[in-house]
Structure 1
């Protein structure tokens, strides 16, 4: 009888426990462990050193991480793509293991870094997968280096500064990401004591960039899929929809029950959408 009573009490508590558990979009899963590869290193690009790694064989696809982060965040996507693609991950300038110089951060500058790495690796043309700042860099590449880019999967991008929600840094999930990114910066960076200065420099870029017009977006001819999570903490939904409408023939994808970190929260769905997009362009 005592055991039955305990079972009944637990059963009664289950709905309350379920209610207390955070929704998937409120979670920040761990940063994946990077895949081991013999093809990794630092490439000299425009006066700095870009850390990169290459996994797999096939058509090249370059994964560009978000602001403050590093290439390790793409671990689950690398595993999904590598059986059919040559996957290149890189730390953006000043991020992760890559170095920076005294020039202010800017999306044009970081897009040029991608082209510089492509040149160093002998890659003529590639697909681009970008998250947040990486997605903005992908769109920058589509505007300014269209001959080098086959397609862009742009997840959680903004194209004007008013596309970002006010006070996003105070969102619990986003604040946890900023703290984690700081720990990772101190572990990887050649300047481990400069995280606060690094964040301030990135913040100055975010205050003014990007600031593209609809006419600039309308000039893009590269195939683009504009994607986001339905609970993005940072990017306004109407802004995501506007980007997709402004770019000719762009697709729009909203992933359910996910946020700015959908590729960590629901990698199976994210990867299925990504593979479908990349494969569609090769049929």
Structure 2
């Protein structure tokens, strides 16, 4: 009887392990807002952008991905704040920030970031971006090179062709979209307008970014192109293309991680981030 019970337990454990999702298939919870962070709104380009400010030292701006909000960076804020002044921004129409009728565009959203830096009297900052936020970091490097230092660009694409087809049908990404809708309803100044917001920003995603070799060659600031080895959204060849085309750029592929690596393995993500930013 005892041996039979042991066999049954072993079989159950084997079945459970077989059914467990790989880390890159998981979507860990959104971090809670960082306790003690200073918060505010900047009136920029006809809207109000929400931001948080934490820590002391050289400034680092964190820019989240599409449909997300600045809370997603909670694990990174805590890691960076010991040596840096960390500014996390809710992009136009995301999180607690408002939007208007202006068509979405990466140039406009990058200009919003510059306006926040102006409001906070920060002449220059390093940029850490995820997905849309990484695209904004590269846009800033092209169009506002004197305002940015290093660019840590995680899960960016340089053209619309760099995004995988039917990404919204991926279970992990679909769960993110569903979560983002609930967070929008809880945080947004226009909580009932999620569908309208998605439609508005969707027009941008249909045609942008659309950078050429010449555009990427304009970037002179230090750049690290980063992605997870199981990104649900971004084609690996586009990631490698950007790293090869941006002058002096590095390439880092994080193991057993996806478009949400900063949630799935924050220790590894933060170690890579700190090494890049603090390496002289």
The TM-score bracket by the shorter chain reads over 0.9
- CA shift, 1:6, in A, is 2.1
Confirm whether residue 104 of structure 1 aligns to residue 140 of structure 2: no
Q: Is the 8 A contact 1:70 1:95 kept in 2?
A: yes
Equivalent-residue separation in structure 2 for 1:5 and 1:61 (angstroms)? 59
Alignment RMSD: 0.9
Partner of 1:83: 82
Q: State the alpha-carbon separation in 2 of the partners of residues 79 and 6 from structure 1.
A: 46
* TM norm structure 2: 0.98
Q: CA deviation at 1:38?
A: 5.0
Cα deviation code 1:27-55 (max 9, x no counterpart):
00000001023521111111110100001
Using the TM superposition, give the Cα deviation of residue 234 of structure 1 relative to its aligned residue in structure 2, in angstroms. 0.3
Offset at 1:151?
Answer: 0.8
Structure 1 residue 101 displacement after superposition: 1.1
> Is 2:169 the counterpart of 1:173?
no
Name the residue aligned to 2:129. 130
SS of equivalent residue, structure 1 residue 192: coil
Residue in 1 aligned with 2:139?
140
Quote the offset at 1:134 in angstroms.
0.1
Secondary structure of 1:165's partner? coil
Is the Cα contact below 8 Å between 1:126 and 1:148 reproduced in 2? Answer: yes
Cα distance in structure 1, aligned partners of 2:6 and 2:58: 55
Q: Name structure 1 gaps, 5 residues minimum.
A: none
1:116-166 C-alpha deviation (Å, 9 max, x unpaired): 000000101000000000000000000000000001000000010000001
Partner of 1:18 in structure 2? 17
Matched, 1:266 2:262: no
Aligned to 1:245: 244
- Give the Å deviation of 1:264: 0.3
TM-score (ref. length: structure 1)? 0.97
| Alpha-carbon separation, structure 1, partners of 2:61 and 2:252 | 20
Give the length in aligned residue pairs.
280
Corresponding residue for 1:120?
119
CA distance in 2, matches of 1:202, 1:148: 25
Q: Which runs of 5+ in 2 are unaligned?
A: none
Larger deviation, residues 12-21 vs 118-127: 12-21
Q: Partner residue of 2:198? A: 199
Match of 1:208 in 2: 207
